[in-house]
Amino acid sequence: MLYICKKQPALFGIVAGLIIIAIGCAAVLTPLPFVSGEPNDKESPKEAAKELPVADALLRTLTGHEGSIRSIAFSPDGKTIASASDDATVMLWDITTDTAKAALKGHTKRIWSVVFSPDGKMLASCGDDSMIKIWDPASGKEISTIQNQSIVWAVCFSPDSKIIAAANNDGTVKLWNAATGKETAVLKGHSAQCFVLAFSPDGKTLASGSHDNTIILWNLADASKICAFSGHNHLVFALDFSPDGKTLASGSFDTTLKLWDIASRKNIRTIEGHTAWVRTVKYHPTANLIASGDQEGVLRLWNATTGVETQNFLAHEQSWLHSLCFNPAGTILATAGTDGAISLWRLKVTEKK
């Protein structure tokens, strides 16, 4: 079976008993005698029988930035990807035409994070210039600027699009009213830089990860600290809640992923396999799958329940993998890194039973 791709780099991955070997722009599937990530004794028969999505082809590569890409995000309708770069620009890409439809300029230094509001009406970006900029993704025009007092490492919207949260170099997490730009709370608890944030799907909890190696859960009703998760041996740079909000995944420079049960407030699994700093972690929107990327450019896919690796390959050659995201339908996985390119990987998806 042959999968025809565009601008296909070397691709190695294990897919349901087959190994993908991509040469030029063609990916050839070759049988393997053994499959890494086969069901183990920790998997139930029902779980083992489920087929999880795999990346079976590189669809295309988007280029245009003049520096490393630090963050990418799909729009809620899945038609646009936003990318933030060291070149101080945010670019909007039309996925239907594979073209850059806008370059948003206003930042003066490296941009660390970019994210769409869940309602799709706003786009937020932040970076080394200590500014948070709010954009209209439809017109590409700047709506407002929030001037912070320190470098902003990450920004995210609450599920109702009413709150903007920012992870700051001074270790604080700040909350703003997205409509007015008014600061509403400053959350203090970390003893070092705060690098990453994630809202729970119900919008009641905010998670923050830090250079102090901990994760803090915050109650947004009263801006209070719920608890702190300790267990990583290096800084926490990636966080994502599962779609049902019951589990939080974290990625660290200690090369591990950890899964945390929100109800019991305990670490329920440590996932090992990466051999370099883990910089990005995301749950698949519908399947029982976690994707993670590291400083060597390697993308790994994991069974979210068992922690068994289902696929790995070099997504960005001679490049760090800084950011990844799934489209809302779960059929495309986008990755980006220091090579300044966005790679779009096709996912083979099996519907949940």
* Residues 12/30, Cβ–Cβ less than 8 Å: no
The β-bridge partners of 168 are 152
In a domain, 40, yes or no: no
Give per-residue pLDDT as tens, 85-139: 999 999 999 998 889 999 999 999 999 999 999 999 999 999 999 999 999 999 9
Cα dihedral angle (163, 323, 340, 164), rounded to 10 degrees?
A: 10
Copy the structure tokens of residue 175: 């909350």
* Residues 330/287, Cβ–Cβ less than 8 Å: yes
Per DSSP, the three-state class of 335 is strand
CATH code for the domain in which residue 141 is found: 2.130.10.10
Query: SS3 for 188-200, per residue?
Result: CCCCCCEEEEEEC
In a domain, 2, yes or no: no
In a domain, 48, yes or no: no
In a domain, 228, yes or no: yes
Instruction: Please tell me the distance from the alpha carbon of residue 57 to that of residue 74, in angstroms, as a whole number.
Output: 19
Closest to 271 measured CA to CA, from 285, 289, 286, 284: 289
**Lowest-confidence range among 98-102, 287-291, 302-306?**
98-102
Give 50's pLDDT tier (boundaries 50, 70, 90). low
In a domain, 28, yes or no: no
Any alpha helices (H) in the chain, and if so which ranges? Answer: 45-49
In a domain, 147, yes or no: yes
Per DSSP, the three-state class of 160 is coil
**What is the per-residue pLDDT for 45?**
38
More confident call, 132 vs 22: 132
Q: What's the total number of domains in the chain?
A: 1
Copy the structure tokens of residue 133: 């900029």
With a cut of 50, say whether residue 43 has pLDDT above it.
no
In a domain, 19, yes or no: no
The β-bridge partners of 218 are 206, 225
Within 10 angstroms of residue 276's Cβ, the number of other Cβ atoms is 15
What is the mean pLDDT of the segment spanning 52-78?
A: 95
Task: State the residue range of the domain holding 272.
Answer: 53-348
Chain centroid to CA 193: 19
Copy the structure tokens of residue 116: 């769409």
The β-bridge partners of 185 are 175
Burial class of 159 by CB neighbour count within 10 A (0 to 12, 13 to 18, 19+): middle
**What is the per-residue pLDDT for 348?**
86
